[in-house]
Amino acid sequence: MLPVTVFMALLCIAASKPKKHHYQVERATAVTDEEEQVSAAAPAPAAFPTPSGGAREQNGAPKTLAAAVLVTDVRSGEVLYEKNADAPRAAASTQKLLTALIVAESGYLDQSVTVQPVDTFAEPVRLNIKPGEFYERIDLLRALLVKSPNDVARCLARDNAGSIEVFAEKMNAKARALGATHSHFVNPNGLPVPDQYSTARDLSIIARAAYANPTIRSIVCLPQLVFRYASGRTRELQNTNKVLKSLAYCNGMKTGYTEAAGHCLIASGTIPGRDVIVVVLGDSKAGVWRDASALLSWGLISM
Amino acid sequence: MSDLFQEQLQALRAQSLQRKLREIGSAQGSEIEIVGRHLVNFSSNDYLGLAADPLLRRAAIGAIEKFGVGAGASRLVSGTQSPHVALEAALAKWKCVPAALTFSSGYAAAVGTLTALASKRDVVILDKLSHASLIDGARLSGATVRVFPHNHLGKLESHLEWAQRELPEARRIVVTESVFSMDGDQAPLGELIELKKRFDAILLLDEAHAIGVLGPNGRGLAAELGLERQVDVQLGTLSKALGVSGGYVCGSRSLIDWLINRARSFVFSTAPPPALAAAATAAIEFLASAEGEARRIMLWKRIVRLGAELPAAPEASGKSGGAIIPWIVGDEQRALDLARSLQREGFLVPAIRYPTVAKGAARLRITVSAAHTEAQIAQLGEAMRRLSVGDYGPVAAERRSSGVGT
Ligand SMILES: Cc1ncc(COP(=O)(O)O)c(C=O)c1O
């Protein structure tokens, strides 16, 4: 392939030729013709930009330094790109999508939950809900998906199944039922414990099921959320997903980070006629946003 | 007389706020000609590339052959010609509403509608970033006007509470846009509808920048979210993605009948040329077709491509929800310099500054069209990455140094 600069120069020459045909009726419609004109003059299609300075995989996907990646076309289920997609890894908070799916499918979301002392025995990030307070399930679910608080995950799980242990069994059963058979879940929030793991492929299966759930779909796209505490105090929660906030076509889903898992992001995106889910696991702090953005953009317009 | 405005103009110049017209010597399109130079145009609202489309040209020419150029009278007198009737029927069908009415511009539609809906006994509550036409309409109606910070549901709620408490008899009208013209972001429509229902208010939604871009067959944000029936007054323009000129209102039969009688910008103005109505009808039929949907998909592919090309903007840039990509620079002079450098390289990308946007929030406003080629977008991306180096410390530096991602 030609170096980008030479390619650009060729395009500039092509573009600077005087074009009389602006006034001709035939031209304007031809969005596709125009494209052919350009590609006829150019040696290669304009290279899709990638985070790693143009490096790409064989099928054109942008190369990343993430430990595991999977890009799926949501409608067909077709895998567009994968890298170490079956390697067992810690999923960190991305597994809250499974927690949310179970809670959302259990229904009665407008009913109240009373916070129990055990719910609050969680590591940061916490929302600091207090034992004895009441919240509607839907409000806790929104907070869970937007800000990822671990006390809220515990509260919803305990409320749903009676205990964290029983909820974990439900998580495993649900994952198996969806076909995500290479995972084992021990808690609802993804905090590190031995023998808890998933894979990029399994997380993609779970994310696809969550994406199909209208309640979850309408929450994961919220850039921010006002959470009203039982005391009446309100707090504005900013969505932790930075890709959601920068790309028009990103419509969710869930971030994750632990030391063992690295920086993780499941990102969904849509354009008319196409939906894509990207799973990025074990990336760097700065890399995760750029890699997920590049993979999402590529996934939406590849082919 | 000649000196009357000199001082004021001088003051504008002193603040570098004086604006000037520039002549475009070509049809609208992804490339336009300014003083003999061809520039790739990232500044128009012709999102689907319809403004110069042969389909629309043919429709307009056909109508001119049959109906001539001028409509001759106002709509209520004898200016309602068959193309006007056909356009309003096509609009109502496309938007799945009982009735539609068209105006000479989106501006006229907003002013005429708001002044007809609200009187001085009423309350109009607007989003802070609402378009000037909505603000002017609200003011001109004589209603009590309240403004809530951009997309701030809490403040909107307290205005509604206030209106319900203090002016219980007043009509409460909430006004917002679906995709904001300078920030490109979307209104939280679902939540707005919950609020307007709770306070028994009327919701007026300006879909100017969402039509042709969002929703099935480009029917807008309300359609995308399946909330069309819950928006009382759907306002829009024929001048942007539809590629023509004019404004419209869609809603109930009684709303439209009231506007026909009371919207002064409709009543006291000569009907728009029938050829424009015919062209707009062709645009709507195109959008409703499979080809139109394919064009809209093409637009979104271009939006995604630009998203992939642009250097990572700072978080404060906010989320774009359509074909308008605000690239926030902050500093006014820096935004102007960037726009000038881009123009030298052959791209027309406008810098938007105070007072159109807040001080210190100057930006490049990039608009994408289905008519752009991938190569044009890649070239802009390359230029932006190169020219904005240094703007965003760590990200820019990283890109510059190794070219290898983390
Ligand atoms: C949000 C909004 N509403 C209304 C208008 C006015 O429409 P028109 O150009 O048809 O007068 C515009 C832009 O011009 C706009 O951006």
Q: Is residue B157 part of a domain?
A: yes
**Of the residues B228, B260, B287, which one is the last residue of a structural domain?**
B287
- pLDDT at residue A13 above 90? no
Quote the percentage of chain B above a pLDDT of 90.
76
Model pLDDT, residue A48: 61
Residue A303 banded pLDDT, cuts 50, 70, 90: low
**Using the 8-state DSSP alphabet, how is residue B22 labeled?**
-
- Both tokens of B338, joined, read 């960037």
Residues A27 and A130 reside in one and the same domain: no
Higher pLDDT, A224 or B159: B159
* pTM score, whole prediction: 0.84
Place of tokens 């994968």: A82
Mutate to test the interface with B, among A246, A278, A295 (most CBs of B within 10 A): A246
Structure confidence by residue, pLDDT tens digits, A141-182: 999 999 999 999 999 999 999 999 999 999 999 999 999 999
Q: For residue B3, what pLDDT band results from cuts at 50, 70 and 90?
A: confident
Q: Is A122 helix (H, G, I), strand (E, B) or coil?
A: coil
Report chain B residues whose CB lies below 8 A from the CB of A286.
394-395, 398, 406
What pLDDT, on a 0 to 100 scale, did the predictor assign at position A63?
86
Does residue A53 form part of some domain?
A: no
Q: Label residue A127 by pLDDT band (50, 70, 90).
A: very high
**Quick one: pLDDT at residue B390?**
55
Question: Are residues A36 and A162 both part of a single domain?
Answer: no
Question: Is the predicted pLDDT of residue A82 greater than 50, yes or no?
Answer: yes
Taking all residues of chain B, what is their mean pLDDT, rounded to a whole number? 90
Same-domain pairing of A105 and A198 = yes
Residue B345 pLDDT > 60, yes or no? yes
In the predicted structure, residue A111 carries a pLDDT above the cut 50: yes
Answer whether residue A241 shows pLDDT above 60: yes
In a domain, A91, yes or no: yes
**Is residue A60 included in any domain, yes or no?**
no
**Which atom of ligand 1 is nearest to B131's Cα?**
1
Residue A32 has pLDDT above 60, yes or no: no
The answer to whether residue A56 sits within a structural domain is: no
Query: In this structure, is residue B278 part of a structural domain?
Result: yes
Alpha helices in A26-130 (DSSP H): 31-41, 96-106
Smallest Cα distance from B109 to chain A, Å: 28
Q: Which residue of A has its CA nearest to B380?
A: A8
List the CATH number of the domain containing B65: 3.40.640.10
User: How do residues B228-240 score in pLDDT, each as one tens digit?
Assistant: 999 999 999 999 9
What's the burial of B64, exposed, middle or buried (CB within 10 Å: 0-12/13-18/19+)? middle
Closest-lying ligand 1 atom to the alpha carbon of residue B107: 11
Chain A partners of B315 at a C-beta cutoff of 8 Å?
242, 245-246
Q: Indicate the residue type of B196.
A: K
Q: Are residues A13 and A99 located together in one domain of the fold?
A: no
pLDDT tens-place string over residues A270-296: 999 899 999 999 999 988 998 999 999
Q: Are residues A25 and A141 in the same domain?
A: no
Residue B373 to chain A, least CA–CA distance (Å): 6
> According to the model, what pLDDT value does residue A53 have?
62
CA distance A88 to A72: 19
B317 neighbourhood in chain A, CB within 8 Å: 246
Tell me which of B43, B126, B181 to substitute to probe ligand 1's pocket, judged by most ligand atoms within 8 Å of the beta carbon.
Answer: B181
Mean pLDDT over A84-98 rounds to 95
> Is A81 among the domain residues?
yes
B103-129 pLDDT per residue, tens: 999 999 999 999 999 999 999 999 999
**Residue written as token pair 């059963």:** A173
What is d(CA B278, CA B63) in angstroms, rounded to the nearest whole number?
Answer: 6
Higher pLDDT, A302 or A117: A117
**Predicted confidence (pLDDT) per residue in B69-97, tens digit:** 999 999 999 999 999 999 999 999 999 99
Rounded distance between C-alpha atoms, residue B66 and residue A279, angstroms: 58
Per-residue confidence (pLDDT) for residue B331, from 0 to 100:
86
Ligand 1 cavity residues, CB under 6 Å:
B 105-107, 110, 131, 133, 177, 181, 206, 208, 237, 239, 247
Hey, what are A280's tokens?
A: 């990025």
Q: Which structural domain range is residue B371 located in?
A: 19-48+290-400
Q: What is the dihedral of CA B180, B184, B190, B196, to 10 degrees?
A: -20
Label residue B277 exposed, middle or buried (CB < 10 Å: 0-12, 13-18, 19+): buried
> H-helix or E-strand containing B147?
strand B144-148
Angle between helices A4-16 and B374-387 (to 10 degrees): 120
- Overall number of domains in chain A: 2
pLDDT at B395: 35
The domain total for chain B is 2
Check pLDDT > 50 for residue B152: yes
Distance CA B350, CA B41 (A): 10
Contact flag A286-B394 (C-beta cutoff 8 Å)? yes
> Do both A20 and A131 map to the same domain?
no
ipTM of the complex: 0.78
What pLDDT was estimated at residue A10? 36
Structure tokens at B67: 């109906």
- What is the pLDDT, as a whole number, of residue A157? 96
- In the predicted model, is pLDDT for residue B314 greater than 60? no
- Band the pLDDT of B271: cuts 50, 70, 90: very high
Q: Quick one: A118 and A177 in the same domain? A: yes
Predicted local distance difference test score (pLDDT) of residue A200: 97
Question: Does residue B5 form part of some domain?
Answer: no
Contact B297 A271 (CB under 8 A): yes
Mutation site for A-interface testing, chosen from B304, B324, B367 by largest number of A Cβ within 10 Å: B304
Residue span of the structural domain in which A35 resides: 4-41
CB B47 within 8 A of CB B213: yes
| Residues B34 and B59 placed together within one structural domain of the fold | no
Task: Indicate if B128 and B167 belong to the same structural domain.
Answer: yes
Residue whose structure tokens are 């069209």: B369
Give me the helices (H) in A17-80, please: 31-41
Check whether B22 has a pLDDT greater than 80. Answer: yes
Boundary (domain end) residue, out of B287, B302, B331? B287
A89 and A34 in a common domain: no
Measured from the Cβ of residue B354, the count of other Cβ atoms closer than 10 Å reads 13
- Kindly state whether residues B135 and B195 are assigned to the same domain: yes
